[in-house]
Structure formats: C-alpha cells, structure tokens
A and B are shown apart, each in its own frame.
Chain A
C-alpha cells in the first residue's frame, strides 16, 4: 500500500526560472516601450505614408530629388530619425519575442537572436549616418536628377 506524502512536509523549491535568472525589470521596461513607441509610430508612419504615397503624385513622385527636398528640412530629418530608431527597436524586440516563443533549442535561439541584433545594429547605424551625412547636391551628378535648389 502506498502512502501519500504529508502535505505539510517541507518541499524542495520549485525548479524553473527564479528572480535571480531575470534581469531586474528589463522585460517590464520593454513591455512599456512597445506600447509607448507603438502610439508614436502610428502617428509617424501614417504621416510618412500619407506624404510619400497619397499626397501629390504618390509613389510616382519619389526619386532622389524628392528625398533631398524632404531632408533639406530638419523637420523631416528628425521625423525620419525618430521613425527609424523607434521602428527598429520596436521591431527588433517584437521579433526577439517571436524567436523566444518558437525557437526551443538554446543554440538555435542564440544564433537567431545574435543575427537579429547584428542586423538591427547595422541598419540603425547605417540609417542614422545616411540621414546626417546626406548630400542633396553631390558633385558630378546630372542636374536633372537633383533638387532644384542645387542649381539656384
């Protein structure tokens, strides 16, 4: 005959993640960030889509001169910079969550998240440099491809 364990007997603590294996409140901060950046991104991206795809001739108007015209103003530089950083961080954290949910092997998860972080850093750094080192009137370029203010 088997006996059931004394329910009041001391038990070893439950296995699994404990407070020690997490990193403070990092996950909470990311949770908040997703919501705050989400609201801001709705405004930034809807504005971006309206100006680039709906207003005027829509997508047909987009060329080098169009981009140069926008980035001549600090307003659109800041707009695009903010959009780049928020969208990349929001997206990177989202994909990190997805990887964490579906990649069960530690090694797979490590490879995928490393590739993700590498790609994100490259894109954020590249995008930021492009916005701030952009030359709207590069020398030796045909004038008809450049914004009108280059020849003025």
Chain B
C-alpha cells in the first residue's frame, strides 16, 4: 500500500522534472550562453540537494517498478512481494550510498 503511494508520488514528481529538463536542455538550440546560464543554476547547493532528492525518487521508482513487474509476471511474485520490498529498500540505500557522497562532493566542492 505505502509502496503504491510512494510509486505514484515519485512518478508524478519525476514527470514534472522531465518536462522542465527537456525545456532547459532545449536551450542548446538557442545559444551556448543561454544554456550555460540556466544549467549553471543546477550547480548551486540548493539545487544540488534537489538533485539528490530527484535521484532518490528515480532510484526508488526504478527498483520498485522492477518489483511490480516481478509481482505481475513471476509465478512466485505475489508470495515474495513483501520480501522484495525490503530488497528494494536495501538496493535504494546501497545505490544512494554510492551516489550521494560523490554528488555532494561535486556540488559542495570537496575536490
């Protein structure tokens, strides 16, 4: 139930980021200056934290989506759906543990 709610909320949020992201990338067609100006705003610390949240949403939606597929198509899927939710959570934690330090270092200038 909660994974279903979280799947909707993350999917909805990712979709609206996607609309904005295609528009900002489209600025490469306007001029290099316009694109660099706007993409520069993605590099400030507040946006950096927003990106961390975005990646968290994407990673959860991705792994939970694969879990949904297994529940739908794997003959043992419904039996292990609860275990698989914990596996999803574990994979999210591991993925974020790999991503976060590196991204925050880039954003906050650790190197």
Contacts and interface: CB of A to CB of B under 8 A. Distances in A.
Interface of A: 35, 38-39, 41-42, 45-46, 49, 53-54, 57-60, 62-65, 67-68, 84, 87-88, 91-92, 94-95, 98, 119, 123, 126-127, 129-130, 133-134, 138, 141-142, 145-146
Interface in B36-52: 36, 39, 42-43, 48, 51
B22 interface: yes
Please tell me the size bucket of the interface on B. Answer: 35 or more
Given A39-B69, A53-B103, A58-B106, A91 B18 contact: yes
B25 A67 contact: yes
A57 B39 contact: no
Contacts of A91: 11, 14-15, 18
B36 A63 contact: yes
Contacts of A98: 8, 11-12
B106 A67 contact: no
A119 B18 CA distance: 11
B50 to A, nearest CB: 12
A30 B73 CA distance: 16
B29 A130 contact: yes
A35 B69 contact: yes
Given A59-B106, A98-B8, A146 B66 contact: no
A38 B42 contact: no
A57 B32 contact: no
Contact of A45 (B26, B31, B33, B58): B58
B65 interface: yes
A88 B28 CA distance: 20
A123 B22 contact: yes
A45 B62 CA distance: 9
A39 B66 contact: yes
A59 B48 contact: yes
Most buried by A among B18, B33, B73, B99: B18
Contacts of B48: 59
B19 interface: yes
Contact of A59 (B14, B43, B58, B73): B43
Given A60-B43, A64-B32, A127-B26, A42 B65 contact: yes
Nearest to B28: A67
A56 B10 CA distance: 28
